Amino acid sequence: MPNLTGVSHDVSEAARALANAVVVVTHDATRVGYTTGPDVQAYVRANDAPIVAAGSALAAAVRRDIAAAARCAMAVIDARKACAETRTTVENAAAALADAQDVHREASGAYSRAYDNLQNLQDALYLMATEVT
């Protein structure tokens, strides 16, 4: 039986068990002497307990896979919602950071101007002091 992709190991193994059960019951039919299609089918129908059990196990494994996929899908939906909520917070934080950078630039410019003015005042005081002496 080819490997199944996109399903859990449990589903793959249950499918393999179902296929094996069908082969075993069919082989048993030919081993006891049934050789025609209708005879083999009748034997399989009369002795289908292993096939039914394997089919039930496969159905249960598929249900578990579907439930796991649904939980995964819900987790993805929740993550997307959280991302959307976080996006707003990040956008607001980015805007606040841009505003803070603008304030910092203005403060830096004011500091530079004040320093230049202080330098000019110091130079003027120095000149005045040298003229007095």
Interval 6-45: pLDDT, tens? 788 899 999 999 999 999 999 999 999 998 899 999 999 9
Interval 41-98: pLDDT, tens? 999 999 999 999 999 999 999 999 999 999 999 999 999 999 998 998 999 999 999 9
Domain boundaries, the chain: 9-106
pTM above 0.75, yes or no: no
Distance CA 24, CA 17 (A): 10
Please give the pLDDT value at position 1.
55
CB neighbour list of residue 77: distance below 8 Å, 6 or more residues apart: none
